[in-house]
Structure formats: C-alpha cells, structure tokens
Amino acid sequence: MLSIEGPGSSVAELPVFDGGDYPASVTAIDDATLLFVSKQDFQSLCLAHPQVSLKVLRVVGSRLRRLVGIIEELSFTTVRHRLAAFLVRLAETSGQRRPDGIEIVLPANNQELASQIGTVRELVSRNLSRFQAEGMLKIEGRNVTVTNFKNLEAELHSSE
C-alpha cells in the first residue's frame, strides 16, 4: 500500500503528462464518488489555467518524496521500526490523550496495517505483542493505548 487518499484527492495524474500507464492500482476502501477527467480535457484545463499545472506538480512532487521515503524505510529499517513509526504518527495525528496514555485506533485489521508498513500480518501481530509485553502499549481489539510514548518514540532512534 503506497498511500491512503481522502476526499478531494487526485490519483493517476502521471499518464496525463507522460502518456504511459499508471504504475499502481487504486481501490476504494469506503464508498466513493469518483470523477474522471479525460487526458485531452485535463490538458486543455492546464493550458487555460496554468495554476492547475503548478498544483499538479506540487501533488506529484509530494507523492514522489513520500515514495522515496517509503523505499528508504523498506530498504533500511526493520518491521519493528516501521511499526513504531506508524504508531507514533498515529498517536501524534489522531491520538486522544487519556489518563493512562494516548489512545489510538488501528486500521480495520492487521493485514491492512501490514500493507501500510510493507510487511506481513504475522510480523505486525508479533511486534504489537512485543510492544505490549515491554509495557509500551495496552491493546484491546483495534483500540491501543500508548502507555509509554517516550520508549515507543525511542524505537525510532535505536533502530536506525
């Protein structure tokens, strides 16, 4: 899994400019309404409104930076490190402070989580259990409380 996009996002812009196929596939994980814009119409829009082209370049550039980051992470870090980084990001972006830590909600299942960090479900389960045994997490179904954020964050530096 390369990315999860939300409302208002665009996908598959590249073929509009280089004429090739889109190098990935896209699947909706929830109900979605999609808008298809033909290559000819999109190019006409870009010629009439150059700011659209600049916005697309920013989106494609950002996506390229993110993909390079994914390649580096998959090439040079362990599953433990990638899982810790995922949990830290989730805690920082959508975590809820509770008396016993930061509560986060994991993706629907460990297979989906594994896809997001480039591994297999079994390694996700094993590493979540290890983090729990080491006192960093408390797991109740898909709800996880990060009980020791500092130690979880330290994993990002010890695995480099």
**Domains, in order of start, for the chain:** 14-76 (no CATH), 79-158 (1.10.10.10)
For residue 159, pLDDT beyond 60: no
* Of 135 and 69, the one with more pLDDT: 135
Which CA distances in Å does 141 have to 102, 109, 125, 132? 15, 9, 12, 13
Report the chain's C-alpha Rg in angstroms. 19
Residues in the chain: 160
Point out the least confidently predicted range of 32-36, 71-75, 120-124, 144-148.
71-75
How far is it, in rounded angstroms, from Cα 5 to Cα 8? 8
State both tokens at 49.
């409104």
Q: How many CB atoms sit inside 10 A of residue 80's CB? A: 17
pLDDT digits (tens, 9 = 90+) for 128-148: 999 999 999 999 999 999 999
Is 133:142 a contact under the CB 8 Å cutoff? no
* pLDDT for res 13: 86
For residue 21, name the pLDDT band (cuts at 50, 70, 90). confident
* pLDDT for res 160: 52
For residue 64, pLDDT beyond 80: yes
List the one residue out of 51, 56, 43 whose CA is nearest residue 9.
56
